[in-house]
Amino acid sequence: MDNLWRYLERATGRSEEVAPVLLRLAWSSAAALAIAPLQDVLNLGKEARMNQPGSAEGNWRWRCTDEMLSSQAFLSLRDLTQASARSRDMETPRPDASMAVAS
What one-character-per-residue DSSP string does 31-54 give?
-S-----HHHHTT--GGG-S--TT
Question: Which of 45, 46, 67, 69 is closest to 58 using CA atoms?
Answer: 46
The pLDDT of residue 49 is above 60: yes
Rounded CA-CA distance 58/98 in Å is 40
Give the per-residue pLDDT at 79. Answer: 93
pLDDT for 72 equals 86
pLDDT for 82: 92
